[in-house]
Amino acid sequence: QVQLVESGGGLVQTGGSLRLSCATSSRTFSRYPLGWFRQAPGQERQFVAAINWDADSIYYGDSVKGRFTISRDNAKNTVYLQMNSLKAEDTAVYYCAAQIHNSGSVYYVRSYDYWGQGTQVTVSS
């Protein structure tokens, strides 16, 4: 059973920065794509960013392009999400996810089969 544990969320003012981390217990972490999604109250889970196993391919949602950066450290079994120039509309619970057995586009929730518990990010204006 793969476990994903997010950390780094919190309260930040508009224009500020946060770095989220997602650590996994998986020994095969380096083999599969990882993604970040977010979900605000009353809204569907939204794609934020994804990165393939060797960081050769990286994808971002339109609303975060140019502000967020996804990266991974396979030696530490950790994926990161650096969030800069935060806006009030970035407020949500952020989840990391792993595409281990499933397949499909990294943009879709259904393509991932393991999820973390989420970490709250609140941006105050």
Q: What is the pLDDT of residues 26-60, one digit of tens each?
A: 777 778 999 999 999 999 999 999 999 888 899 99
What Å distances lie between residue 64 and 14, 58, 102, CA to CA? 14, 13, 25
Convert the pLDDT of each residue in 103-122 to its tens digit.
899 999 999 999 999 999 99
Closest to 24 measured CA to CA, from 118, 119, 116, 121: 116
Q: Residue 4 above 80 pLDDT?
A: yes
Q: What are phi and psi of 90, to 5 degrees?
A: -85, -5
Distance between CA atoms of residues 44 and 55, nearest Å: 27
Tokens of 104: 């499909």
**Bridge partners, 18 (sequence order):** 83
> What pLDDT is attached to residue 54?
84
